[in-house]
Amino acid sequence: MSPIIKKKGEKFTLPGKYLLFILTLLCTGLIFITFNTDFLSAPVSAAGGFIITPLQEGISKAGSWLSTRSEELVQIRSLLKENEELKAQVDELTMENIRLQQDRYELTNLRELFDLDAQYDEYDKIGARIIAKDSGNWFHSFVINKGSDSGLQIDMNVMAGSGLVGRIVDVGPNWAKVMSIIDDNSYTSGMVLSTSDNLIVTGDLQLYEDGVISFEKLIDSADRVVEGDKIVTSNVSDKYLPGILIGYISSINVDSNNLTKSGLITPAVDFEHLEEVLVITELKQTPGE
């Protein structure tokens, strides 16, 4: 009986050597067909393209997306670092600008004091900085950083801006308290510079909310005093040296007695903004002294 044919009821089997022979012929035929024809390459290529091409496109898109995100993260980190550096530069420039503004403001004040010092060169003076003030919007009472150790005494006159600020009312070793001419308790003997008529300048914090203080007891029977006239400290003042500018007359009224006049004065000093002052280091001499 043939080794391939089995009896009825037996399983069909193929010996290994025949199976190997058949597979060898099949592989040889497929190799021949593959190298000499496109019978199998076209379907295989089509199938490969159908499966592999979308996969390659997906991988390419994923790689491109990851590359883009990576570049964006690098740019974001760079921008964040640059932003922090710019913030630091802005802070530094802001502080520098503030310092320059302060320096310019101080320079302006010092120039005013220099001009004021030159204007009243007949008096010896010393500069001082304000270190404290009483409550309120105005410098009606304040403390400076010079005292008896620097030769300061009570009743020494204090100037700033364009004229008279006030006088020292208390003094310590390294500080002195100043009461300004706008204080409610201040009374200053003044004089109209153009006519030499005397008057009394009275401090009034309520009036100074409008930038003025008051004067009274002006005798001007000839009506020579007009608005805009300069008011200076008078020769008869017992506390103030003569000739220091107090301010300018802004209004004049005839009193009810028809003998004297009163009105308002715009001070020569800005009592809302004071930092440095000049102290005249000599006292007004009275006949008793």
Q: What is the per-residue pLDDT across 71-81, written as a single tens digit (0 to 9) for each?
A: 888 888 888 88
The string of DSSP codes covering 251-268 is EEEE-TTSS-EEEEEEES
Specify the residue for token string 């009896």.
Answer: 7
pLDDT tens for each residue of 6-21: 555 566 666 777 777 7
Specify the residue for token string 């029977």.
Answer: 221
Task: Answer yes or no: pTM beyond 0.85.
Answer: no
**Residue 197 reports pLDDT greater than 70:** yes
What's the rounded Cα separation, in Å, for the pair 123 and 13?
A: 138
Name the DSSP letter for residue 239: S
**Which of 56-65, 96-105, 113-122, 160-169 tops mean pLDDT?**
160-169
pLDDT confidence bin for 97, thresholds 50/70/90: confident
Specify the residue for token string 């150790």.
Answer: 149
Looking at 11-20, 36-45, 71-80, 251-260, which range is the least confident one?
A: 36-45
Task: Count CB neighbours of 277 within 10 A.
Answer: 27
Question: 58: part of which helix (H) or strand (E)?
Answer: helix 41-119
- Beta carbons of 158 and 277 less than 8 angstroms apart: yes
| Burial class of 117 by CB neighbour count within 10 A (0 to 12, 13 to 18, 19+) | middle
pLDDT tens for each residue of 123-170: 899 999 999 998 888 999 999 999 999 999 999 999 998 899 999 999
User: Letter for the amino acid at 269?
Assistant: V
What's the rounded Cα separation, in Å, for the pair 33 and 41?
A: 9
Name the DSSP letter for residue 269: S
Specify the residue for token string 């040889």.
Answer: 28
**Residue 33 reports pLDDT greater than 80:** no
What's the rounded Cα separation, in Å, for the pair 220 and 231?
A: 14
What's the rounded Cα separation, in Å, for the pair 216 and 264?
A: 9
Greater confidence, 41 or 61?
A: 61
What's the rounded Cα separation, in Å, for the pair 40 and 19?
A: 23
**Which residues on neighbouring strands pair with residue 265, listed in sequence order?**
213, 249
What's the rounded Cα separation, in Å, for the pair 277 and 18?
A: 124
What's the rounded Cα separation, in Å, for the pair 164 and 177?
A: 15
Looking at 83-92, 136-145, 264-273, which range is the least confident one?
A: 83-92
What pLDDT is attached to residue 1? 46
What pLDDT is attached to residue 93? 82
What's the rounded Cα separation, in Å, for the pair 35 and 218?
A: 131
What's the chain's average pLDDT? 84
